[in-house]
Amino acid sequence: MMAGIEHLHRHQVDFNILTVVHKGNVGKAKELLNFYREHGFNYVQLIPCMDFKSQHVDEPGVYEITPQEYGDFLCEVFDEWYNNGNPEMSIRFFDNMLNVYLNRDAELCIHQGECPTNLVLEQNGDAFPCDFFINKDWKVGNVRTDSISSMLAHPNFDRFRLLKPTLSENCRTCNWKRLCYGGCPRNRKWSPEGNQSSPDFFCQSYKQIYSYAHERMLELGKRLREEMYSNNLKRYFKGKTPGRNEPCPCGSGKKYKPVAPLIFPLSCNRITNWDMNLRQRAMHLIKRKIHLAKRKRRF
């Protein structure tokens, strides 16, 4: 394996290291990251070891590690990845977290607001909405006989797309919802009717790492947004403040909304949950000052 990787290095071919987290390495996060750095493995993905068959969609997956073990592992990996505010390695889980702190969307389907519109094909041409749902009850057609549009319009595809946003009350009111969106539907326990579900098996793990990393992610996200805003302002706007509804220079891909520049110097129409209270208090203060100024003019 290492000889093959050396060939990839020699020919400057990018590759990812897919790390299955199991009982044997869940307590060795720092050791793993040191090994990856030593060998120039700069792109890493983490997947908890799971024992399941995707065809048995009525049976929940059984993981080899506990939520507490996975949460501890992620926290230790985060300390290595963060690198005093200067990440040098791409770890997909934390790249996705950082995207949210940059006012963007996560690209990993587990942490998106809805499942992506994909088709998974078996060797006989049978099509399914996800590789975790390869079962006759979720079949949407066959590429030999059905068009892509008809398969995407299949009732099973609509039924599948409704799973992700069907969240428990705890998920709907969770402070970390925007980072997680309930995780993967395959990792939840569902009612027989399929209209209610428990939280993701690793809900505790996610809450642990989100809370642990929050302050440092806020700081990193703010600094990167400011850097992108400044650089993009010079490059694309000739140093001038963009007009309302123009693309925001912060890089979020959202429209620029100029509001209270002394309080919110970087402002697009995407507001993080943890910024909401600050914004509401600040806007209340502004309205209060305007009200007092009007009263003063009357007298």
DSSP 71-93: HHHHHHHHHHHHGGG---SEEHH
pLDDT of amino acid 195: 79
Among candidate residues 88, 93, 94, the one with its CA nearest the CA of residue 41: 88
pLDDT of amino acid 265: 40
pLDDT of amino acid 79: 96
pLDDT beneath 70, residues of the chain = 52-61, 258-299
pLDDT of amino acid 210: 97
Residue 17 is encoded by which pair of tokens? 């290291």
Distance CA 272, CA 175 (A): 11
The H or E element that residue 121 is part of is: strand 120-121
Question: Would you call 165 helix, strand, or coil by DSSP?
Answer: coil
